[in-house]
Chain A
Amino acid sequence: MFELIGITPQVLFGQLLLGLINGSFYAILSLGLAVIFGLLNIINFTHGAQYMLGAFAAWMLLNYAGIGYWWALLLAPLIVGALAIVAERLLISRLYKLDHLYGLLLTFGLALVIQGLFRNYYGASGLPYAIPPLLSGGHNLGFMFLPNYRGWVVVASLTVCLTTWYMIEKTRLGSYLRAATENPVLTEAFGINVPRLVTLTYAFGVALAAFAGVLAAPIYSVNPNMGADIIIVVFAVVVIGGMGSILGSIITGFGLGLIEGLTKVFYPEISATVIFIIMAIVLLIKPAGLFGRAT
């Protein structure tokens, strides 16, 4: 069958796996954007820069402190999340009473500053980050070769996404979050510290981005521009999925990654633009997004 369409299974499944990996990053990043948007009502343009910061934190931990991948996976999101708390308290919290667009402009400026600083100190060419020894090598599955690290990325992302979904939909803390998203004033009247919840939510969304950054570091080189490239695609993902549903963000992210992978096999010319084309089609058919509520 594969010979019929002139594509080897190795190529097809290899690209599907790459698509799934890109999809994992789309899912984690759009999930973070959706959680932040739900409560803060701002689109976090710094998200891409924070994903890049996660990767750089892992690289710095390894090269300056000798701390390896597994600790970085835990520490980098904590460090970047802590920085996010500072940014939220100092800058973003001043904008909640204003139009949403100012949040976009502020976080855009913040992204420019962070990316500019890292370009100055580390150049634009990218730094290598080795795959941890435990996950090097791979398995031959018969129809394709599966590098262990790539399999791990998909599993880890899915776990993080589903845990986040569970936390928000099924736990008490998540119910506070949903209540504050729905009606912050009333939630505060019930004695819940909404401003602190807002800060923690921002830090959590950003920590997710940093986690994705650490996962990405061994696959793509650690590069100051890595966030700027991916964040615009993630915006398109968010427009396609709508930001109303957590599970919707996850499904849309993985689905679009897979579609992108398939496009690379069957019609590589449009693989860079396919997500934007899908966005245009979705806007025509269902302007509120696949999982969005009409506003």
Chain B
Amino acid sequence: MANVSTTVAAGVAPASGGDRTRTLHRAIFIGLALMLAVAPFLVYPVFLMKVLCFALFACAFNLLLGFGGLMSFGHAAYFGMASYVSAHAAKVWGLTPELAILAGTAVAMVLGAVFGALAVRRKGIYFAMVTLALAQMVYFLSVQAPFTGGEDGIQAVPRGRLLGLISFADDRVLYYFVMAVFMGGLLLIYRVIHSPFGQVCKAIRENEPRAISLGYRPLHYKLAMFVLSAGLAGLAGATKAIVFQLASLTDVHWSMSGEPVLMTLIGGIGTVFGPIAGALVVVSMQNYLAHLGAWVTVVQGGIFILAVLIFREGIVGFIAGRLKQQL
């Protein structure tokens, strides 16, 4: 498989990661944190939390595609299953929100380990089809299993109190928690990409036979990347369940698997910050076009087509190309 991110980010400087790049990234992280800290005073916090959850979801997907070269079309399985588990844990077991989210994330990682072990046996287009099919299996199981509440989903999930102390009833308090989760996830992804492990994953993506000849086991690395990505998608889904107090079949439906794909494509495949920009664009669009009903799907499909045909580098990829910097 020729790989996606190199064809996309063709204009980007080589992965040397010099001092200037590092300083720039640090500045972006600080700027992002400051912007997010001020944002709830300017914009409706629930909207921002939705953007952050989906941004983390898209970053998780992009970790696998952009840095592992694996295109998963079934990330809704981890997002949705974690959402169900965390909603169930908070509502039925009465766990505090942070424990409920951890439970959801853990289940997503286990699911990711099982599905990943199957999926990494195939490459490229087959990998995408396998992950999609496995996710559809999770969807059918969610329709049948009693604990998911079928068509109703799990409603009225309590937001609870962080560590049993701080109430999340106030949107703004909850917002800062979601922001911390998001920034934590993003920093983890950044750290992984720039770790020796991340370098090996990139090497495997670029030239698998050569990586094998150097003594690496590609399947192990791909699986580890898959589990990490599934876990982060789960973290996003579990947090979303607490924020919206709802887990439903929408979260595990195949169309949910398309969301991070579109966000990543718009933002820039293989860029660190692209999926965040993509999530902001897509969630805003869904919000403003909500009154159009089913037309949103048509618009989204149209954007997919246009992005693939004329804007493959994505928003952040385009900026990165102009600045000749990795972003």
Contacts and interface: CB of A to CB of B under 8 A. Distances in A.
Nearest to A275: B133
B130 A283 contact: yes
Contacts of A100: 1, 124-125
A87 B282 CA distance: 25
A117 B124 contact: no
Contacts of B119: 283
A284 to B, nearest CB: 7
Nearest to A283: B118
B301 A236 contact: no
A120 interface: yes
Interface stretch (B40-48, B187-195, B303-311): B303-311
A120 B305 CA distance: 20
A228 B254 contact: yes
**Mostly helix, strand, loop or mixed at chain A's interface?**
helix
A235 B298 contact: no
B167 interface: no
Nearest to A123: B294
Contacts of A283: 118-119, 121-122, 130
B298 A117 contact: yes
Contacts of B308: 95, 102, 105-106, 109
Contact of A120 (B254, B261, B298): B298
A189 B4 CA distance: 30
Contacts of B297: 112-113, 115-116, 119
A112 B300 contact: yes
Interface stretch (B24-32, B87-95, B136-144): B136-144
Contacts of A43: 125, 128-129
Question: How many A residues touch the partner, as a band?
Answer: 35 or more
B125 A287 contact: no
Nearest to B297: A116
Contacts, number: 130
Nearest to B302: A113
Contact of A287 (B1, B121, B293): B121
B295 interface: yes
Contacts of A102: 4, 308, 312
B129 A236 contact: yes
A101 B205 CA distance: 14
Given A112-B301, A283-B121, A295-B123, A120 B295 contact: yes
A108 B295 contact: no
A3 interface: no
A168 interface: no
Interface string B121-158: 11111101110111011001101100000000000000
B301 A110 contact: yes
Contacts of A117: 298
A74 interface: no
B53 interface: no
Among A106, A112, A277, which residue has the most Cβ atoms of chain B within 10 A? A112
Contact of A232 (B2, B118, B254, B300): B254
Contacts of A135: none
9 contacts: A106-B309, A109-B300, A109-B302, A110-B301, A112-B298, A273-B140, A277-B137, A279-B134, A295-B123
Interface of A: 37, 42-43, 91, 94-95, 98-102, 104-106, 108-117, 119-120, 228, 232-233, 235-236, 238-239, 269, 272-273, 275-277, 279-280, 283-284, 287, 295
Given A110-B301, A283-B122, 14 more contacts: A100-B125, A101-B71, A101-B125, A105-B265, A113-B297, A116-B297, A116-B298, A120-B298, A235-B133, A239-B130, A272-B144, A276-B133, A277-B137, A279-B134
